[in-house]
Amino acid sequence: MKKIIKLISIFILLLAVSNVFADGGKRTGTAGAAELLIPVGPRGIAMGESDLVSTTGIEALYWNPAGVSSMTNNADVLFSHMSYIADIGVEYGAVAANFEGFGTVALSIKSLGIGDIPVTTTINPDGTGQTFSPSFITAGLSYSRMLTDAISVGITGNFVSERMADVSASGFAIDFGIIYRNLADVNGLNIGVVLKNLGTEMKFDGSGMYQQTVINGVTHFTKIDAAAFEMPFNFQLAAGYSPVIDEQNSLMFTSIYQNNNFSGDEYKFGAEYGYNSLFFVRAGYLYSDVDDYLYGFTGGVGINYEVEGFAFKVDYAYKDAQFFDGNHVFALTLGF
């Protein structure tokens, strides 16, 4: 009973924090560090980015760290590649370990590959012959624990680094999540709450912020003071239901309401069909009333195979996008 009261108190606290930081689009365009919003993991992407309450193990790291504690293996390793918009590649790797009596600890890293960009100036608008390669890296440390058979919590601390030519910015953000399983004693009915990207402000600095001018034959250097920007905070309220069919067939339905501090609200829906716990087909849909919202339908497939204590998973997802080519996501997960 005490743990239930604590859970209710945490839910109330999360709702209060979300009201402070997420203004439902009133501060549209005020946040930076947009790489934090690029999802990882084809299973969740294929389900419309809506599975915050049923995803388990290392796959849950990005979506809801509370789900990592449900890992069935002693250790999991995940590698993922996404073909993102405008020829940008997103590489992601994670490792998680289960410690009996303590919980689950995980490390993750995400990197954007943008490639070389020609350097242009007002004097050389067609290029100077030089290039620079932007660097966007997010490194995370996560901890997750089962409080009871029904309740799990998790937290991730992310270090965010951005570098473009001679300027850089860094910051720290936290993700926090809760999952409550089998709500009201209904088997397969789960709910969850996630706060994402609650963190410090970031500000670009470096030698590239200095501008050279020549006045009366004298060279001067003036520093441009960059404006600070916030992390793209959002609050997510999720629900999922897995009806009982039979031993060979499984079905799952998921949904999310997402409130952002940088854009309008989002609504996400997904479904997954599984056959014999081996082959899976997934689909989803993302919606927002923002006129230039990029995304809509998603889909994907997955294969899970286990033999003699070794788990092997291969997943693929496709995410439709307006104005750009769709996103293709691949992942390999190994469990020991």
For residue 211, the model assigns a pLDDT of 82
71: domain CATH number?
2.40.160.60
> If we measure between CA atoms, which residue out of 42, 38, 77 comes closest to residue 57?
77
* DSSP state for residue 31 in the 8-state scheme: B
Cβ-based burial of 169 (10 A; exposed 0-12, middle 13-18, buried ≥19): buried
For residue 23, the model assigns a pLDDT of 53
What total number of domains does the chain contain? 1
CA atoms of 52 and 41, how far apart (whole Å): 12
What are the angstrom distances between the C-alpha of 298 and each of 86, 121, 284, 321, 322? 19, 41, 5, 9, 13
Containing structural domain, residue 269: 2-335
Q: What is the pTM of this model?
A: 0.87
What does each of the 336 residues of the chain score in pLDDT, given as a tens digit?
554 555 555 555 555 444 544 455 555 556 788 999 999 999 999 999 999 999 889 999 999 999 999 998 999 999 999 999 888 999 999 999 999 989 999 999 999 998 888 888 878 888 888 888 899 999 999 999 999 999 999 999 999 999 998 899 999 999 999 999 999 889 999 999 999 999 999 999 998 888 877 778 788 888 888 889 999 999 999 999 999 899 899 999 999 999 998 888 999 999 999 999 999 999 999 999 887 788 899 999 999 998 888 999 999 999 998 888 899 999 999 999
CB contact at 8 A, 59 and 71: no
CB contact at 8 A, 290 and 264: yes
